[in-house]
Each structure stands twice: as structure tokens, then as C-alpha cells.
Amino acid sequence: MRSEHLLVAVAVLVVAGQSSAQTAPDQFDTVLVTYQLSTGQEAQYNGHDGTLAAFWSEWDTQNASGLNRDYILMDPEHCAQPGRDYYTGPADNSVYIRAAYGQNGIYMLVESVDDNFLDRNMGTNTDSIHRDVFELYIDTLSSEENRTLGALCYIGLYDATLTYTSVQLVLSVGRNRVYDNFRISYYDEGLWSWTDFWTPFTTAEQTMGGMLFEPVTVSPTRRAQEWFLPWS
């Protein structure tokens, strides 16, 4: 990706799936199927070891089990508004998302393929639009409730993204820097406004029910993050 940043966004619904193989899952749809982990597989996860959990290899269609598991591919060709990107092909700003679940919570693997990762501006932590970031939205309202309530649940008259029950997490992907914090944003009922702050990963682990985020450099052109969201 060139210095002009492209913000790629898509609505993803996470639903529980079976462990058996699927028939040609649609990588460009908006439903990301999660796969149940065994106790042994869940024990493979370590949010502090700097490597990807071994169970993610089961998404490789060339493995011995012949699994064909669902994932989401986000790229400007399919997700961006035409004319507002500088996309040059699959090696330029593509994001792959996988998901699994176990007794402890939900696990997500987000991998970005890019030819030029951008570090977050050293002078300001608020500049995420012009840098490479992953954004994760969590909402206590279901998709059906969002559709039913409509404008009643959205913040602002013209915002059809953020609700009064939304939590937005912004996680940076650097070229030369490895970040250990992220931005969390939410609607503060006491202040009657959308508010945000930056918090270290270690703080989130201690104060947000054991939530874990781990950056992993797979190659110079591939950056990954493992996310663990406990059921609590």
C-alpha cells in the first residue's frame, strides 16, 4: 500500500460452525464461520509467545485432512468505494480473517498482506485514518436489533455505523514498530458523547476479562494479529 491510506471495512457476522469440511466457502461474503476447537487445540493458544497457534494451520486446504474452512478476504477490489483507493493487486492491502471458538472464548486471526506498511504517527496517537490499522467492532445489539431500531440506536443523525452499545477497538500494524497498545472507543452515558482512550495490551488482559491481542510478523509483507475474546 502506498502512503495514501485506504480504509477497508465490511460487516462480519460470526456464527458457530461444525468442524467438518465445507464445500467451497465464499471468501467474499459477510458471514465468517467459526470452528469449534478441542480442549487440546485450545491449549495450543498462547497470547504471549510471538507465534501463531498451531490450530490455524487447519485452514490450509492443502493439509493432510483436506479441510476447506471458511475465511473472509477483504480487499479494495471488493470492499472499497471505487475511485478512492490506490489498489494495485492482491499483494497490496489485502486482509484475511479466520475464527475459532472453544470453552474459553472466541479466537480470531487477522492477517494483512501489504507492500508498504505504515507506522502510526509518532506525534499523535489519534491519527489512525492515515496509518495501517485493524478495526474491531463489538456490539451487544444483534444485527436484527440494529435493523429494527434503525436510527434510534445510532449515534448522530447520519451515522449508520456506531450505536450506543458499540465498542470500537483500533489496533495498529506497523512497519518498523511493534505496538503494545490499542484505542478503545465507546459511548459514555455520563458524558453523553463518544469517547476513547489508549490502553496497553497488558491492561486489557487484566481489566477486560482476559482479552488478549498479540502482533506476529509472518514476513516483511505479511503482518498478523491473534485476538482472544473471552466469553466473559
Say which range, 47-61, 95-109, 145-159, 168-182, has the weakest mean pLDDT: 145-159
Q: 196 in a domain, yes or no?
A: no
Q: 102 in a domain, yes or no?
A: yes
Report how many domains make up the chain: 1
Does residue 215 contact residue 225 with C-beta atoms inside 8 Å?
A: yes
Q: What is the mean pLDDT of the chain?
A: 76
Query: What domain range is 78 assigned to?
Result: 13-136+201-230
Tens-digit pLDDT profile for residues 92-123: 778 889 999 999 999 999 988 887 777 776 55
Q: 151 in a domain, yes or no?
A: no
Q: 157 in a domain, yes or no?
A: no
Tens-digit pLDDT profile for residues 17-47: 544 444 456 777 778 888 899 999 999 999 9
Instruction: Identify the pLDDT of residue 102.
Output: 95
Mean pLDDT confidence for 184-198: 84
Q: 190 in a domain, yes or no?
A: no
Instruction: Identify the pLDDT of residue 9.
Output: 41
Mean pLDDT confidence for 161-166: 78
- 219 phi, psi to nearest 5 deg: -160, 175
Q: 48 in a domain, yes or no?
A: yes
Say which range, 15-19, 52-56, 216-220, has the weakest mean pLDDT: 15-19
Q: 223 in a domain, yes or no?
A: yes
